[in-house]
Each structure stands twice: as structure tokens, then as C-alpha cells.
Structure 1
Amino acid sequence: MNWQSVSFDWNQARAFLVTAEEGSLSAAARALGLTQPTLGRQVSALEEALGVTLFERIGRSLSLTPAGLELLDHVKSMGEAANRISLAASGQSQEIDGTVCISASDTASAYLLPPILKRLRESAPGINVEIVATNAVSDLQLREADIAIRHVRPEQPDLTARLVRETAAHFYASKAYLDRKGRPQSAEGLSSHEFIAFDRPDRFLQHFTETGLPLQERNFKLATASGLVGWEMARNDFGIIVMIKEIAEQFPEMEQVLPSFEPFVVPFWLATHRELHTSRRIRIVFDLLADALSGKQLIS
């Protein structure tokens, strides 16, 4: 068949292409963020428009028919062209100069990003950076940011994600607070202390009770959704707080509480949209962040 003479819907062609690449309708549906019935209808509509069978089922997998194999090369070329058009339309070309938006928690934005961005300014001064300092998860698919630094694994199928580091978080308090209230020598000793929560006390308490800590809501005298505010309150002697060690160690007035207690593991994930990851500008920033965050020290 002369495929060039046939006109068909790109959504149908894309459904066919991803199904061929993934090997099943269910996997292709996840990759495209569609329901399996919707994807199946698009593939069937393409087969009907062309008057051929593109797949045959083998067990739970799909195999391309000879007609499907012949069509695949043409559709791959269409997909590559569509990606180039999308990148050009969104301004994400291979030019280095331009703006990159980074989303990170408020504490990471304030205490971890500055030395990293200094390196970026030295190596790529034409890149401008916009920082979205938020403890909510920015939606990269809606372009709320180009790159996100997250502490939970990204699950969206259209994202490229990399676990670059796992670090430790501990209990910290100001030396002045501990001089006043005493330094606990065991987990049981924490029950007489005041804590700062990053969420509603009842929700935050659950994380601690699951680790066997003898705390109650009365221990949480202060709560805030802002990591920066909570940290400043701890520095001003309001109580004990959880913080990653790379940030806490920047403040000599803060002291680790109960060093023998098992640390909390905090992962650092870097995520970007697959489409944006092909941009040279995004790639430069992504790789610099990955290199800096994966080092033995987050702070140079």
C-alpha cells in the first residue's frame, strides 16, 4: 500500500506508534495517559481508515502484522517531526540562552540551590533561572516548572525522573532551647519536649508514632506548612524540628537531638518532562543539579 496517499488522524497514528513501542494496549495507555478503551478505539479507527490489520494478539502481548511493520517506519518519522514542531512551538529549542524554571521545597530553594546556581551562572551565564519555592508538588505536565526537585518518586508517565541521592534527616533544636529544657538521652525522653510540625499536628504525629516515638498532640506546640518558617522558629528556641543534615549543619547554633536515633531517609528525585529533556538548555541545568545533588556533600 502507498501509505503516503493515505490521510489519517495524528492521534490515531500516535496511538499506533506507542502501542507498537510498548507492546500492549495497557502499557501504551499508561504512557499516553489515556484509558485503555480510548487507546483501543484510536488504533481500531486507524485500522478501519487504512483497511488493514496492524496488530495480532499473541497471549497478552500484541505483535505487528506485515502491514503494521511497513507503517511503523512512516509513523516514526511523523513522531520525530511532531516532537520537533512541539519543541519549536514551546520555545524549547537547542539554544542555550533562555529561562529554566526549577521547582523545589522552600528550604531546598533557600539553602541548597544558591551554591549550585552560582556554578550554573559561571558555566552558562545566558541561562536565566526562575525558582518556584513550594512544598506542594508542581505539575510538570502543566508546565508549572521545567525541572522539579522532589522528595517523592514522580509517577506521571510522561516524566523523566532520576533518583540522584538519599540523605538523612535528624531531630534538631537550638542550643539555647536544649540548655533550657534538657538534652534527651532516649526516645522516651522526647515525650517531655516541644516539637514543630510541618503539617497539622494530628497528621504530622502519625509519622512519628509509626516509628514508635512516645509523642502526643500536646507535644506539638507550633505548626506551619512552611519549612522555612518552621526552621526559623526552631532557631528561635521554640522546640525540636526535623531537618536534613546538609541544611542543619549550616547553622552552628543548632544541635542534633538524640544522635543515636535512626535517621529519617529523605530521597532527592529530579524530574522533567520527557519533551523538555531533549532541550539543550534544560539538559544542562538538569545535569548540573544531578551532579551537585548526588555528590557526597550537597553544600560545596
Structure 2
Amino acid sequence: MCAKSHTPVFDWDDLRSFLAVVRAGRLTTAALQLQIDHSTLSRRICALEASLQVRLFDRLPTGYSLTPAGERLAAEAQAMESVAIRICSELSEAGRRMTGSIRLATPEGFGTYFLARQLHLFAEQYPEVKVELIANPGAVSLTKRQADIAVTMFRPESGPLRARKLADYEYGLYGSHEYLRTRPRLKTLGDAASHRLIGYIPDLLPTPAHDYLKEFFGNRQADLQISNILTQLSATLDGYGLCVLPCFMADTHPELARVLPQTVCLTRSYWWVTHAELRAPALVRAMKSFLEEATARSRSALMPSASFGQALAGRPAGAASPMDAPASDDLSLP
């Protein structure tokens, strides 16, 4: 424990600093997030420990680890933070101009090929809002408030979170025109036996739902195994072989052709997720509305087969049906 301070009580800044270290796990990382010098942050933690006369952290070579007393304080501090956030938002949101920053975490394919190409529209509507886009949802924790909104490929199972289905999207089997010209023609799924396949490394699947090849090719392993979708797309463009790709990504590349569309067609879903206690409710609502409008506008790109079927049936592509309605909000996931 640090040397005892003359400060008789702690202040809120010390508690905020404590929470930043809890969430970051390292003093230097937390200081960077708070935009203060790490020595200043260290003094605040020392002052808090001295005021409470307890050791809150074990200083380890790998980072700061909470002691039992620190764990108890973390729970109370997070509850106090939630109250402060709610008070600030309720008292000042009505008269507040839309300014500030909002951080989103998304899958790399969605962030790179969809959202990044739409955000100029958000900027035109909210010119004083700064957007921070992390195209890797695994890099942040909503529970620890490291982002305001996450777009995920699955509904979270637990935590103080709110979740709602954002949109469905379609996958198909693609190969480059150059590659397909030099290989046997694909008439049935069995013909793929004479083709090279690109897929995920089995033990590095983002989720079990990403085991696309197993759905269509059984126990056959990919000839080229890659840990992320953008590199898989790059290998497909360069003519290595066939790959199951999101249509909204692959269809932007005229070098690629979709094969066996009636046979290899599967649907997955994106969800938006937020913390139950929002840091900036107005900004989060604005971004959620923008995401919902953007995905609704782009339904034909996200779900090309469904849009084609609707057109044949006489219903405008992108028109919602009862089956398309998103799931209700989950105010507190179990």
C-alpha cells in the first residue's frame, strides 16, 4: 500500500481514476485513456488507498490486479458511476447540442465494407460529433464501458447490456473469374472436390457459427486457412480458390463471381449492443437510428437472394414483412 496521505477523504476524480485502472488493467493504458500522465494517475491511486487505508491493487509485472477490498470498491464505484451518468443525462440532455464523441466496435468486414462507407452521411447530419470506429469487437468490452455501441455477430448471453437485432445478411460461395476459367466447371456441390477452398483456421473461429465450410462440405478442411475475413477475401481476389464470403463484401468486387447460389446460401445476423446505463444517451440513440436506417437502405446488398425473391413476388425489395421485424430490446440480459 502507498504511504499514507494527509487527505482525509477521497474525491470523485480518484474514484474515476480507480475505475479506469480496473478496466484497463495497466496504469499506463488507463493514463492514456484519461489523457493524464501516468505519474499523476499513480498519485491518485495512492491517495485513494491512503484515504481508505486499504490496498486496492496488487502491483504485478503483468499489470494491476484487484485485491478483495478493491473488488468490493469496484462494484460500489460502478454503481456510483451509473447514477452520475443517469443524473447528467436526465438534467442536461434536453438542452444539449449534439456534440462529443461516440465509439463503435464492429466486426472487421461490417466496419470496413459497410459502415465506413456510410459514415459520411452521419457526419453530414451531426457535424460536431466525432466517431471512433474499432473494426474488431473483441478488442473492447461494453461491460467495462470501453465502447458505446458494439455491432456483434451474436446476441450476448449475459451482462448489464441491451441488445437488438440490427439486420440479417447473406453469405455465398465466390471465386475470381480468372481462377474459375482455369478450373473444372461447378455444376453441383460435389464438383467443389476438385477446387481449392479458403476458410478459417478451425481453432481460431470467431464464433461456432463461422464454421461455414462444415455446413456445405462436411469434414473437409480448407486448403488455405486464414484467421480473418478480409485476408480471406484478398486470397479469393488473387485467385487462390473458392471462399464463403458475405455478399455485401464480395459483390463490390467485379473480379469475383458467385457460384452455386441456389446451393451455397446461408444467413447470419448482426446485433447492436449497448450498456444498460448509457454514457451519452442522445448520441447512442442517434447512432442506433443511423445504423438501422443504413442497413434498411442496403437490404438488397445485405440479402441479395431475399431481395430478388421479393421482387419476383411483387413486393418491393427492402420492404419489411412481419418476419423481418427485429427482436425486442433486452433491458437486462441474464
The amino acid across from 2:254 in the alignment is: P
Q: CA deviation at 1:192?
A: 1.6
Listed as ranges, the matches of 1:8-87 within 5 Å are 83-87=82-86
Match of 1:100 among 87, 90, 102: 102
Name the residue aligned to 2:124. 122
Secondary structure, aligned partner of 1:247 = helix
The amino acid across from 1:276 in the alignment is: L
Match of 1:165 among 149, 164, 167: 167
- % identical equivalent positions: 23
Distance 1:206 1:99, change over 3 A: closer
Secondary structure, aligned partner of 1:136 = helix
How far does the alpha carbon of each residue in 1:87-135 deviate from its partner, in whole angstroms, 9 at most, with x for none? 5689xx7342111111111111111012321110010011111111116
Secondary structure, aligned partner of 1:225 = coil
Q: CA deviation at 1:199?
A: 2.6
Tell whether the 8 Å contact from 1:163 to 1:268 is kept in structure 2 after alignment: yes
Name the residue aligned to 2:181. 179
Match of 2:220 among 216, 219, 222: 216
Distance 1:110 1:85, change over 3 A: same
Name the residue aligned to 1:274. 276
User: Matches of 1:154 and 1:195 in 2, distance apart?
Assistant: 31
How far does the alpha carbon of each residue in 1:3-52 deviate from its partner, in whole angstroms, 9 at most, with x for none? xxxxxxxxxxxxxxxxxxxxxxxxxxxxxxxxxxxxxxxxxxxxxxxxxx
Listed as ranges, the matches of 1:121-270 within 5 Å are 121-134=123-136, 136=138, 138-200=140-202, 207-208=211-212, 210-213=214-217, 216-217=220-221, 220-270=222-272
TM-score where L is the length of structure 1? 0.64
The amino acid across from 2:275 in the alignment is: H
Distance 1:138 1:171, change over 3 A: farther
User: Matches of 2:300 and 2:257 in 1, distance apart?
Assistant: 19
Tell whether the 8 Å contact from 1:148 to 1:271 is kept in structure 2 after alignment: yes
User: Matches of 1:148 and 1:286 in 2, distance apart?
Assistant: 10
Tell whether the 8 Å contact from 1:173 to 1:241 is kept in structure 2 after alignment: yes
TM-score where L is the length of structure 2? 0.58
Q: CA deviation at 1:191?
A: 1.5
Higher mean displacement: 135-144 or 278-287: 135-144
Distance 1:287 1:298, change over 3 A: farther
The amino acid across from 1:86 in the alignment is: I
Name the residue aligned to 1:294. 296
User: Matches of 2:184 and 2:232 in 1, distance apart?
Assistant: 21
Q: CA deviation at 1:83?
A: 4.5
The amino acid across from 2:102 in the alignment is: V
Secondary structure, aligned partner of 1:188 = helix
Q: CA deviation at 1:214?
A: 5.1
User: Matches of 1:275 and 1:206 in 2, distance apart?
Assistant: 31
The amino acid across from 1:241 in the alignment is: C
User: Matches of 1:282 and 1:202 in 2, distance apart?
Assistant: 31
Tell whether the 8 Å contact from 1:191 to 1:214 is kept in structure 2 after alignment: no
User: Matches of 2:141 and 2:281 in 1, distance apart?
Assistant: 19
Q: CA deviation at 1:137?
A: 7.0
Q: CA deviation at 1:144?
A: 2.6
Distance 1:129 1:188, change over 3 A: same
Computed over aligned residues only, the root mean square deviation of the Cα atoms, in angstroms, reads 3.1
The amino acid across from 1:169 in the alignment is: Y
User: Matches of 2:136 and 2:228 in 1, distance apart?
Assistant: 8
User: Matches of 2:296 and 2:201 in 1, distance apart?
Assistant: 28
Secondary structure, aligned partner of 2:168 = strand
Q: CA deviation at 1:200?
A: 3.0
How far does the alpha carbon of each residue in 1:65-100 deviate from its partner, in whole angstroms, 9 at most, with x for none? xxxxxxxxxxxxxxx99745135689xx73421111
